[in-house]
Amino acid sequence: MSTLSINGENHTIDVPPDMPLLWVLRDIVGLTGTKFGCGIAQCGACTVHLDGVAVRSCVLPIAAVGDRKVTTIEGVGDTPAGRKVQEAWRQLDVVQCGYCQSGQVMSAAALLTTVPDPNDADIDAAMAGNICRCGTYHRIRAAIKQAAKEA
């Protein structure tokens, strides 16, 4: 049994300690906005925040979460950076199929939390771990810059 703080709510979870946070969120808690893409931290679709820092939940055993607070795509809109990123994503019509976008939004929100006015190199460094097969990268870059302007 372990207790996780997810989007401000405590959840008591009874699963094997090596179970990645991704499957806890999706299969046990029922938060399906966080996506499975590769299972080896190569695509970023599963990105969530631990205490505001972007991590790949597909390779993070639940035992390693500790008492850090988990924020997912369903809760990131309640943070200042997440709200701005989601608004910019909507305004610039970033999404296509949308499957990777939860992870893209989470990575972008974590970036803006630490670097409020990122340049292209900052964006490259923060977003290179998130694959978009539809190829929405131009609008992702533009939307991050727009979200930064809203600060």
Q: How far is the CB of 37 from other proteins (least distance, A)?
A: 6
In angstroms, the CA 56 to CA 149 distance is: 27
**Nearest distance, CB of residue 151 and other proteins, angstroms:** 19
* Residue 69 vs 122, nearer CB to other proteins: 122
Residue 132 contacts other proteins per CB under 8 A: yes
CB 72 within 8 A of CB 34: yes
What does the per-residue mask of binding to other proteins show for 35-74, with x meaning CB under 8 A?
xxxxxx-xx-x--------------------------xxx
Q: For residue 107, how many C-alpha atoms fall within 13 Å in the half-sphere facing its CB?
A: 26
Query: By the 8 A CB rule, do 21 and 59 touch?
Result: no
Contact status: 114 vs other proteins (CB under 8 A): no
CB 72 to other proteins: min, Å: 7
- The footprint of other proteins (CB under 8 A) covers 15-16, 19-20, 23, 26-40, 42-43, 45, 72-74, 77, 86, 89-91, 93-102, 105, 123-125, 127-128, 130-141
